[in-house]
Amino acid sequence: MYTHILLRSSEIFLKGANRRMFERKLFSNIRRQTPFKEILVSQGRYIVSFQPDHFSLRRVFGIASYSLAVRCNKEMDEIKSVALRLLQGRKGMFKIETNRADKSFPLNSLEINRELGSFLENNCLCLVVDLRNPTFVFSVEINQQGVFMFTETIPCFGGVPTGVEGSVALLLDGEASVLAGLLVMKRGCDIFPVRVGCEAENISFLQQFSPAPLHSLSFIDFPSLQQWLFHKKINFLVNGQTFSNFVSNNLIISQLRPLVAYNKIAIQEQLTEYHKAANFQSI
């Protein structure tokens, strides 16, 4: 019965005068990486129409979380009716949290919580209001577009939209380098996958998180790679080295090592979460 999805950005609200640029890039990436093409902005929320393939949103960097919601008109009787249908079959302790962005709605947040909570408790015999230790939270958001109700928030990877911070080269050399690439994409960088003197790496996993097409390039040695970097005016090379396996490659170029403080366990744990997102699984 879901009608819409509410998207929440991660760091975009901190960007001040550059916020619109970050939002445009985020919307462009959403359209490239997911089936969602029409995105509505309403009082700090991004709203799209519901589609079953919503897990693809988890692969878009810049999205902090999203919720599958039901929309209704801004009338208390209709809110109660829709909430009752949405919670049909649910059991346990619950509490209501209301965000009333549209201040023209006659009841304030606390009044909505009390009235709706009392109604649901009286009409759903298996539900009991518990403000301290609820089994789940029933959320109500009221904005200019209507009333949106949901019971779950699905976490995403946050960060900033890929493509807002220029391009870097990614030296592919095992799983750790793949995670390094994901982390710099999460910080807004487009990546150019490269490899030196080794077999071609499968970049299909990285491609699922990149809004731009990826093509890996192979070089016979590091001097050849460095010449290509200078020609392309790429000033940074990202690799997956950690403190324990640091090896100098004698390149005269700035190198980024986002995994320098990681160990093998931390690398595997984070890669597992990214693989879940790539396979449309919930964290």
Same domain for 143 and 172: no
Same domain for 150 and 212: no
Average confidence score pLDDT of the chain = 92
Same domain for 149 and 172: no
Residue 45 in any domain: the answer is yes
| pTM for the whole structure | 0.91
Same domain for 140 and 100: yes
More confident residue, 39 or 14: 39
Confidence tier at 283 by pLDDT (50, 70, 90) = very low
pLDDT at 199 over 70: no
**Predicted local confidence at residue 282, as pLDDT:** 47
Same domain for 127 and 75: yes
**30-63 residue pLDDT tens:** 999 999 999 999 877 899 999 998 999 999 999 9
Which domain covers residue 38, as residue numbers?
4-155
More confident residue, 248 or 175: 175
**241-253 residue pLDDT tens:** 998 888 777 788 8
Residue 265 in any domain: the answer is yes
Residue 71 in any domain: the answer is yes
pLDDT at 208 over 60: yes
**Predicted local confidence at residue 256, as pLDDT:** 92
**Predicted local confidence at residue 200, as pLDDT:** 65
Same domain for 182 and 96: no
Mean predicted confidence (pLDDT) in 25-33: 96
SS3 string of the chain?
A: CCCEEEEEECCHHHCHHHHHHHHHHHHHHHHHHCCCCCCEEECCEEEEECCCCHHHHHHCCCEEEEEEEEEECCCHHHHHHHHHHHCCCCCEEEEEEEEECCCCCCCCHHHHHHHHHHHHHHHCCCEEECCCCCCEEEEEEEECCEEEEECCCEECCCCECCCCCCEEEEECCCHHHHHHHHHHHHECCEEEEEEECCCCCCCHHHHCCCCCCCCCEEECCHHHHHHHHHHHCCCEEECCCCHHHCCCCCCCCEEECCCCCCCHHHHHHHHHHHHHHHCCCCC
Same domain for 273 and 184: yes
Mean predicted confidence (pLDDT) in 228-255: 87
Domain total of the chain: 2
Residue 162 in any domain: the answer is no
Same domain for 173 and 146: no
Residue 160 in any domain: the answer is no
What is the domain-level CATH number for residue 266? 3.40.50.620
Residue 161 in any domain: the answer is no
**116-132 residue pLDDT tens:** 999 999 998 789 999 99
**Predicted local confidence at residue 112, as pLDDT:** 96
Same domain for 250 and 174: yes
**Predicted local confidence at residue 244, as pLDDT:** 83
**69-110 residue pLDDT tens:** 999 999 999 999 999 999 988 899 999 999 999 999 999 999
Same domain for 150 and 34: yes
